């Protein structure tokens, strides 16, 4: 891992992989029914939304950046705009440098020194740990892209490869397909960014088996 910053400073818990979305949600007229959010009720449960005082814009932006940094643990103060979700945090937190990585960072002071216990997990490509591909490569030396829009011959890791987390490192990618018609979770390849020890391999294969069971499938391949 590049630099002196580990996964333990990242407060965001790894998410279950995105292949496990519920595609069988109730539908109406051929379309998925949108979830309805419950509005806070006014006096006597009259169904009138509670009007909360608005924060001044400057304060709202500060709170937003603090919450974002709390989720990420470490982030850039400024950077290239993201088309979906911003990944910069302004002046939130405290300044920090990462050995071997140019430029400054901001860290959540509450995350520093927090007890850490590693785990093994298959991550969604949209997990906050890897969502910012540049950050993942700079902090963890983890190169990754979603390749679903690439021609098959041009893919390095697979159509929808899942990042593999082990302890405090990102160690590889899993190329697998959920074949629901045949009830199989087909493993096409397990790409090792570093050599897997027997203990690492066992931990990763247990996660694969666990994911397949969660999807109601049997591992094949």
E strands along the chain, which residues?
27-28, 31-32, 74-75, 94-98, 101-107, 119-122, 162-167, 169-179, 184-192, 218-220
pLDDT attached to residue 81 = 72
Does the pLDDT value for residue 39 go beyond 80? no
pLDDT attached to residue 42 = 56
Mean pLDDT within 57-76: 90
The bridge status of strand 184-192 relative to strand 218-220 is parallel
pLDDT in tens, 127-149: 989 988 999 999 999 999 999 99
Segment among 75-89, 104-118, 130-144 with least mean pLDDT: 75-89
* pTM exceeds 0.85, yes or no: no
pLDDT attached to residue 40 = 54
Does the pLDDT value for residue 30 go beyond 50? no
Name the pLDDT band for 45 (thresholds 50, 70, 90): low
pLDDT attached to residue 53 = 76
């Amino acid at each position: 891992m590049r630099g002196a910053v580990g996964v333990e400073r990242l407060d965001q818990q790894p998410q279950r992989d995105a292949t496990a979305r519920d595609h069988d949600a109730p539908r109406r007229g051929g379309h998925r029914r949108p979830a309805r959010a419950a509005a806070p009720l006014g006096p006597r449960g009259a169904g009138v939304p509670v009007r909360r005082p608005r924060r001044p814009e400057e304060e709202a932006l500060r709170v937003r950046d603090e919450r974002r940094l709390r989720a990420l643990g470490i982030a850039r103060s400024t950077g290239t705009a993201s088309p979906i979700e911003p990944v910069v945090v302004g002046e939130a937190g405290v300044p920090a440098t990462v050995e071997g990585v140019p430029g400054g960072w901001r860290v959540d002071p509450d995350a520093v020194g927090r007890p850490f216990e590693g785990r093994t997990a298959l991550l969604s490509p949209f997990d906050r740990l890897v969502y910012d591909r540049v950050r993942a490569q700079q902090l963890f030396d983890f190169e990754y892209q979603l390749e679903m829009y690439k021609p098959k011959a041009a893919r390095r890791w697979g159509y929808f490869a899942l990042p593999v987390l082990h302890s405090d490192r990102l160690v590889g990618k899993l190329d697998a397909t959920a074949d629901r018609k045949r009830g199989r979770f087909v493993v096409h390849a397990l790409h090792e960014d570093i050599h897997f020890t027997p203990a690492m391999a066992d931990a990763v294969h247990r996660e694969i088996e666990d994911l397949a069971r969660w999807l109601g499938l049997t591992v094949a391949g």
